[in-house]
Amino acid sequence: MCKSWESDEYSNKLEGRKETLVCEGEAFQFTTRDGETTEKTLIGDLKSTQKETDT
């Protein structure tokens, strides 16, 4: 799912929003400033210690 949200194809869906997803134990926030480019930021304080993260 993170691979999909990383692409600029979804940037228009992020406009005015911040989405947080956990991918392979690490949390990332996805946003856009212009509705055309997706920005992905690691949230270091949020981590999953589960062997398989719930989806």
Residue 31 counted as domain residue: yes
Residue 53 counted as domain residue: no
pLDDT on residue 1: 82
The DSSP secondary structure of 15-52, one letter per residue, reads: TT--EEEEETTEEEEEEESSSSSEEEEEEEEEE--SSS
DSSP state of 14: H
pLDDT tens across the length of the chain (55 residues):
888 888 999 899 999 999 999 888 889 999 999 999 999 999 988 876 776 656 5
Residue 54 counted as domain residue: no
- What is the largest distance, in Å, between two alpha-carbon atoms of the chain? 36
Domain of 16 in residue numbering reads as 2-47
Residue 25 counted as domain residue: yes
pLDDT, tens digit, 9 for 90 and up, residues 32-43: 999 999 999 999
> What is the distance, to the nearest Å, from the Cα of residue 8 to the centroid of all Cα atoms in its chain?
12
- pTM of the predicted model as reported, rounded to 2 decimal places: 0.76
Number of domains in the chain: 1
pLDDT on residue 55: 59
Strand-by-strand arrangement of the 38-47 sheet = 19-23, 26-32, 38-47
